[in-house]
């Protein structure tokens, strides 16, 4: 299972810039049982943000089989996100923590 958790906030300009990419990714993987996409507002869920070490937003955490494999801070395109997800889907073991 590949999980992608995006941390952001409504007031965050770069987070708003990522919205079209997030919509595209959510639509693409809506029926893929191997991929889970979650969008977390840090103002509503600060505990989860602390758990994943969120210090700047937007931040995306990628997990493979419940192991954090990558953390990206800043605006990512749908293409960049999709590439990471697809690479993780085909990885046999977690790639290691970044």
Enzyme catalytic residues = 12, 15
CB 98 within 8 A of CB 69: yes
Strand pairing of 2-8 and 59-64?
A: antiparallel
- Residue 61 and residue 4: Cα distance in Å, rounded? 6
């Amino acid at each position: 299972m590949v999980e992608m958790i995006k941390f952001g906030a409504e007031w965050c300009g770069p987070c708003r810039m990522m919205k079209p990419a997030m919509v595209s990714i959510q639509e693409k993987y809506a029926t893929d049982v191997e991929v889970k996409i979650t969008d977390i507002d840090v103002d509503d869920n600060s505990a989860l943000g602390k758990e994943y070490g969120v210090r700047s937003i937007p931040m995306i955490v990628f997990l493979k089989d419940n192991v954090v494999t990558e953390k990206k801070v800043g605006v990512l395109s749908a293409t960049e996100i999709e590439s990471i997800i697809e690479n993780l889907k085909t990885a046999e073991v977690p790639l290691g923590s970044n």
